[in-house]
A and B are shown apart, each in its own frame.
Chain A
Amino acid sequence: MDEVKTNTEQITEAKNGKEVVIALKGLKKSFGKNEVLKDITLEVKRGENVLILGKSGTGKSVTIQCIVGLLTPDGGSLKVFGEEVAQLSDKELKQLRMKFGFLFQSGALYDSMTIRENLAFPLTRVLKLTDQREIDKRIEDVLESVGLLEATDKLPSDLSGGMRKRAGLARTLIINPEIMLYDEPTTCLDPITSREISYLILEIQKKYKTSSIIITHDMECARIAADRILIMDDGKFVAEGSFDELHRSTNKIAASFFKDIL
């Protein structure tokens, strides 16, 4: 009976867009004697854009690298779609990763391949598509949605920083991920391009119905793209709220981020 109730609750939550897709509880990670993540507890709900603010070296990137399985946490619980990631086999982890899109700081485009080949790579290797017409159509569609159709046959080295970010974004979106992880998506970009990328993140959330974690220092990005903001300091979350709530917050660290915001 309890199980039926639980399932019913889950369905209701999913319908309300409240299904938890990522759940971290007491997550810990150290590198040697350096304890980077001390006690991370976080829930990301379906369709939600959660943004993590924090100084460099506070453990923001380590958190999302743990989520996607690039790093193994030392302790705590890490569940994605209700499954404990540490208990997944290699095959199951690979299946799970297909539901993730990860935008790296640098874009991480394969520099020996053109943008078309970069985008075709996950289609042929991960989704195992063989129909060239379908591959080309998907590439054109996703490049159009990030506004980069003109760069299809260019090499990453021929693109500007903003274009590389867009291309990286297109490569992650092409496999229709359910969860997007953005690692400093606006770093090293001019304010105009940063704003464009921030609006693009918002557009992706609406168009592809993704749940996202965004790691950034960019307050403009936080204002535009975040549904909820968490502030990280010394391996822990120290404040949480919407942009406006944190703007009014008396928390010292939150105030230091928001002090220049009018």
Chain B
Amino acid sequence: MAEEITISGWKKWLEDIGDQVAFFFKFIRNIFSGGFEWAELVRQCYEIGYRSIMLVGITSFIMGVVLIVQLRPTLVTFGAVSMMPQSLSISFVRELGPVIIALICAGKIASSIGAELGSMKVTEQLDAMEVSGANAVQYLAVTRILATTIMVPLLSLIGDVIGLFGGFLAINLRDSISFQLYFHKVIASLGFSDLFPAFVKTIFFGFAIGFIGCYKGFHSNKGTESVGIAANSAVVTASLWIFVIDAISVQVTSLLFYH
């Protein structure tokens, strides 16, 4: 009995992977199949990007402040208080900023896409689109996935700047540093090998958030409970993918820039 359950669990998992691969190719095919939904893409960029700026901004600011507050005692011990801007910029821009902002976006955007498309499935709106001969994947999925792929890197850049500004204010709570000197130190400490990989991985984070949100929404079951399940599993799976992509990008960056 237990063996049967294990086999059916594996079968379901493999079917899910197969469905995800098929959905990926459907997405790629629909980007180039003509009749691209530019207006919907712009609307989604506004909904996904612009409406997330406040959340990303506040979180990044707090993260910048907290990181400085946490870093200070250690740096004081080593007599390296003056290294606070550099420490913050490298840790924030290279790793913490992109990952935490992507996780916040997964929570906000992947869940909302999963829930929206899931509820469209439950209320037969996806079927209605399909039956009418309109292309539901092109209208709903392609636009949302491209919007997250474009907007998450931009949100990440905005978050980085706000987080570094938060760090500047936090340093000035206990110590004193001018705005010019702080940002001079921040910029001087960042090189191409810090900025480029960090930016590139946010593109993949954005894609994963949109893709998982759409996949979960399109493949939810037909029941009100399924909407919650789609939203929840979209967040969990997208978050997991963010860590997987991050782990891969660290290895690739390390191979390309530090060896």
Which residues in A have some Cβ–Cβ distance to B below 8 Å?
A: 68-70, 94-95, 97-98, 100, 102, 104-106, 108-111, 121-122, 125-126, 128, 168, 171-172, 175
Which 5 A-B pairs give the minimum distances between C-beta atoms? A108-B128, A108-B124, A125-B134, A97-B133, A104-B124
Cα of A128 to Cα of B129 in the assembled complex, Å: 15
Question: Is the Cβ of A108 less than 8 Å from the Cβ of B125?
Answer: yes
Question: Is the Cβ of B133 less than 8 Å from the Cβ of A98?
Answer: yes
Q: Distance in Å from the Cβ of A213 to the closest Cβ of chain B?
A: 13
Question: Is the Cβ of A68 less than 8 Å from the Cβ of B124?
Answer: no
- Pick from A69, A106, A126, A172: contact of B134, CB below 8 A: A126
Which residues in B have some Cβ–Cβ distance to A below 8 Å?
A: 35, 120, 123-125, 127-135, 139
Whether A102 contacts B131 in the complex (CB less than 8 A), given A109-B125, A111-B123, comes out as yes
What are 16 A-B residue pairs whose CB atoms fall within 8 Å in the complex?
A69-B131, A70-B130, A70-B131, A94-B133, A97-B132, A97-B133, A100-B131, A102-B131, A104-B124, A108-B124, A109-B128, A121-B132, A122-B132, A122-B133, A122-B134, A125-B132
- Residues of chain A with a CB closer than 8 A to B127's CB: 70, 102, 104, 108
Q: Distance in Å from the Cβ of A108 to the closest Cβ of chain B?
A: 4
Cα of A110 to Cα of B128 in the assembled complex, Å: 9
Q: Which of A95, A106, A110 has the most CB of B within 10 A?
A: A110
Residue of A nearest to B131 (CB): A102
How many A-B pairs have beta carbons closer than 8 Å: the answer is 58
Cα of A109 to Cα of B124 in the assembled complex, Å: 9
Residue of A nearest to B127 (CB): A70
Cα of A110 to Cα of B140 in the assembled complex, Å: 12
Whether A106 contacts B133 in the complex (CB less than 8 A), given A125-B35, A125-B139, comes out as no
Cα of A100 to Cα of B129 in the assembled complex, Å: 12
Cα of A97 to Cα of B35 in the assembled complex, Å: 18
Q: Distance in Å from the Cβ of B131 to the closest Cβ of chain A?
A: 4
Cα of A191 to Cα of B135 in the assembled complex, Å: 36
Cα of A130 to Cα of B254 in the assembled complex, Å: 52
Q: Distance in Å from the Cβ of B142 to the closest Cβ of chain A?
A: 13
Question: Is the Cβ of A97 less than 8 Å from the Cβ of B131?
Answer: yes
Cα of A105 to Cα of B133 in the assembled complex, Å: 19
- Residues of chain B with a CB closer than 8 A to A121's CB: 132, 134
Q: Distance in Å from the Cβ of A15 to the closest Cβ of chain B?
A: 29
Q: Distance in Å from the Cβ of B35 to the closest Cβ of chain A?
A: 7
- Residues of chain B with a CB closer than 8 A to A102's CB: 127-128, 131-132
- Residues of chain B with a CB closer than 8 A to A172's CB: 132
Question: Is the Cβ of B123 less than 8 Å from the Cβ of A108?
Answer: yes
Whether A126 contacts B123 in the complex (CB less than 8 A), given A102-B128, A104-B128, A108-B128, comes out as no
Q: Distance in Å from the Cβ of A126 to the closest Cβ of chain B?
A: 4
- Residues of chain B with a CB closer than 8 A to A70's CB: 127, 130-131
Cα of A121 to Cα of B128 in the assembled complex, Å: 11
- Residues of chain A with a CB closer than 8 A to B123's CB: 106, 108, 111
Cα of A83 to Cα of B250 in the assembled complex, Å: 55
Question: Is the Cβ of A125 less than 8 Å from the Cβ of B135?
Answer: yes
